[in-house]
Amino acid sequence: MNLSGSLAPELGQLSHLLILDFMWNELSGTIPKEIGNMTSLKLLLLNGNKLSGSLLDELGYLSKLNRLQVDQNYMSGPIPKSFVNLVNVKHLHMNNNSFSGQIPSELSKVPTLLHFQFDNNNFRGTEIPASYGNLSQLAKISLRNCSLQGEIPDFSRIPSLSYLDLSWNQLSGSIPSHRLSHNMTTIDLSDNQLNGSIPESFSDLPSLQKLSLENNLLTGSVPAMWWKISFSTRARLKLDLRNNSLSNISGELNPPTNVTLRLEGNPICKNASIQNVGQFCQSEAGGDGIPDGSTNSTQTMTCPSQACPIDNFYEYVPSSPVPCFCASPIIVEYRLKSPSFSYFPPYSQKFEIYLTRSLDLSLYQLSIDSFFWQEGPRLRMHLKLFPMFINPHSNTFNFSEVHRIRGVLTSWELPLTDFFGPYELLNFTLLGPYSNMIIDPRRMGIRKGILAAIITGAVASFVILSATVMLLITRCLRHRDRPPSRRHSSSKITMKIDGVKEFTFKEMTLATRNFDSSTQLGRGAIKRAEEGSLQGEKEFLTEIELLSRLHHRNLVSLVGYCDEEGEQV
């Protein structure tokens, strides 16, 4: 939306608001402490702005908060210990800031925490609290590039842990040998100062996709862990062990084609007695093994091209149970903000089932047209949603169905899973037969929250208008005891605005019973003018013209004004 400015303290008055979403704007300044008064808030989404300052203790008052996203800002200072009171929070995303100090051990007492993502901060000299091994619901912990020291805690007691990234720190000591969760897909401990051997327990992780231990001080043997992992045809495993002190291998060095092994910079590369070792010691041995993205591959259908007008954004539905069903899709740009895996294809069908059930669609109505990884890592997808086949002419969504689908996506009604994590809706594109549809924002995503633009416009405009009205009334109250007279300026400027009436001072006096306070309709935050600070007549009339253009359902329209008796009302 490209909103700019700062977060108004008056937002704290929205005590019944459930969702505050200002993601990916140009907001600056600090988070006001008054946000802590929004006690009904479930989602506080402020990532992707230019916010600075520190996180205040008052945010710990948000006991109903489910998700806190302040990542990708310019924030600093410590993490408040009051966050222990966030007893319902599941997602803490604070990566890409400049937070410092200690990582609070108190967070280990938050029983609901699923995603703990603090990458790229400055917790210099801090150790990871050993008590974090007690976060029994945790699915993902990512503390990459945080200047952490000390040893790696034992995370073997977390049954659902899938993703562990502690890379680019100064961690030392040996890697804990206890077996991690069988759900583990990703272990990244690269670029630390770890020593000792690679735990044999890593060979007993059936879902593992990525093990990155490069640039450490590890010794001993390379575990032939591919012998103990049962691979499906779509599975991949990347083992990056470069630049350590590994000198041997336990087993034969003949991994299958869906395993990428990188050994460059280890003594084992100089051991000529090990067969085939050279191919794994090259600088680009096998690439990454985990592609950045892919496009959807579907079975080839023999359908007449002229029967489906692709120039009007129609196409054959790839997985339709009815052959050659031609329909026009809705295009959705969708991004998984914090997925708990490193390689998507093995989980693509699981994702399709999850999303179609959440949107109340049939499985064939969704096509993952393409996907690719972005920095984070985040997984961006280009999705196509097709209408259901009812008859050969049911090739578009109706108006209400488009509204329904978009409403679910924009109001965060999709149930989050710990594996796929939070999502971001980047685009909802209506082309071809949908291009003339006008989406009514009042019917879209406001059932459980208020759109960010409405919040910003309504609050800011209300405060400004209240201040203006109260300032003008305050000026008039000084004339409460003055008998009315008429002293017109000889050089009065005339102005005519449709729908706005110019009142005489006498009319204002009679209408307000000589500006009696009982006739005052409301009161707001005001900036009082000093005596003698009245603006010129031209400036005043310009202000009236601007106020006459303010139209919003939450604002009272300007009815009239008075420019007499040396007063501007």
Which strands make up the sheet holding 67-69, listed edge to edge? 19-21, 43-45, 67-69, 91-93, 115-117, 140-142, 163-165, 186-188, 210-212, 237-240, 259-262
> Which of 409, 443, 477 finishes a domain?
443
Tokens, residue 7: 């977060």
Mean pLDDT of the chain: 83
Q: What is the pLDDT of residues 538-561, one digit of tens each?
A: 566 666 655 654 544 445 556 677
Q: Is residue 505 part of a domain?
A: yes
DSSP three-state, residue 398: coil
One domain for residues 430 and 520: no
Q: Is residue 62 part of a domain?
A: yes
User: What is the reported pLDDT for 283?
Assistant: 77
Q: What is the pLDDT of residues 144-202, one digit of tens each?
A: 999 999 999 999 999 999 999 999 999 999 999 999 999 999 999 999 999 999 999 99
One domain for residues 401 and 521: no
* Of 272 and 257, the one with more pLDDT: 257
One domain for residues 438 and 469: no
User: What is the reported pLDDT for 97?
Assistant: 96
Q: Is residue 376 part of a domain?
A: yes
User: Domain span at residue 469?
Assistant: 452-568
One domain for residues 15 and 161: yes
Q: Is residue 245 part of a domain?
A: no
User: What is the reported pLDDT for 493?
Assistant: 56
Share of the chain above pLDDT 90, in %: 60
Q: Is residue 56 part of a domain?
A: yes
> Which of 158, 184, 213 finishes a domain?
213
User: What is the reported pLDDT for 552?
Assistant: 43
User: What is the reported pLDDT for 526?
Assistant: 33
CATH code, domain with 153: 3.80.10.10
One domain for residues 390 and 477: no
One domain for residues 431 and 508: no
Residue 345 pLDDT > 50, yes or no? Answer: yes
Name the residue type at position 483: P
User: What is the reported pLDDT for 457?
Assistant: 44
Residue with tokens 């309504």: 458
Cα separations (Å) of 89 from 23, 109, 118, 161?
Answer: 18, 11, 15, 17
Residue with tokens 């995503």: 445
User: What is the reported pLDDT for 446?
Assistant: 38
Total structural domains within the chain:
3
**Considering only 217-221, 330-334, 390-394, which range has the smallest mean pLDDT?**
390-394
User: What is the reported pLDDT for 303?
Assistant: 86
One domain for residues 412 and 487: no
User: What is the reported pLDDT for 447?
Assistant: 38
> Which of 165, 185, 213 finishes a domain?
213
Q: CA-to-CA distance for 263 and 250, rounded, in angstroms?
A: 14
Q: CA-to-CA distance for 43 and 65, rounded, in angstroms?
A: 6
One domain for residues 202 and 343: no
Q: Is residue 234 part of a domain?
A: no
- Looking at residues 296-319, what average pLDDT do you find? 78
User: What is the reported pLDDT for 458?
Assistant: 44
Share of the chain above pLDDT 70, in %: 75
User: What is the reported pLDDT for 487?
Assistant: 41
User: What is the reported pLDDT for 252?
Assistant: 81
**Considering only 234-238, 298-302, 488-492, 507-511, which range has the smallest mean pLDDT?**
488-492
**Considering only 97-101, 107-111, 238-242, 525-529, which range has the smallest mean pLDDT?**
525-529
> How many other C-beta atoms are found inside a 10 Å radius of the C-beta of residue 1?
13
One domain for residues 520 and 429: no
Q: By 3-state DSSP, what share of the chain in percent is helix, strand and coil, each rounded to 5?
A: 25, 20, 55
* Direct distance between the N- and C-terminal alpha carbons of the chain, in angstroms, rounded to an integer: 35
CATH code, domain with 298: 3.30.70.150
- Looking at residues 236-262, what average pLDDT do you find? 91
User: What is the reported pLDDT for 478?
Assistant: 53
One domain for residues 322 and 420: yes
Q: Is residue 247 part of a domain?
A: no
> How many other C-beta atoms are found inside a 10 Å radius of the C-beta of residue 50?
15
Q: Is residue 306 part of a domain?
A: yes
Confidence of residue 488 (pLDDT cuts 50, 70, 90): very low
- Looking at residues 508-513, what average pLDDT do you find? 70
Residue 109 pLDDT > 60, yes or no? Answer: yes
User: What is the reported pLDDT for 540?
Assistant: 65
Confidence of residue 42 (pLDDT cuts 50, 70, 90): very high
Q: What is the pLDDT of residues 63-101, one digit of tens each?
A: 999 999 999 999 999 999 999 999 999 999 999 999 999
Confidence of residue 532 (pLDDT cuts 50, 70, 90): very low
One domain for residues 40 and 158: yes
Residue 280 pLDDT > 70, yes or no? Answer: yes
Classify residue 489 as exposed, middle or buried by CB count within 10 Å of its CB (0-12, 13-18, 19+). Answer: exposed
Tokens, residue 355: 């999303």
One domain for residues 464 and 389: no
User: What is the reported pLDDT for 185?
Assistant: 96
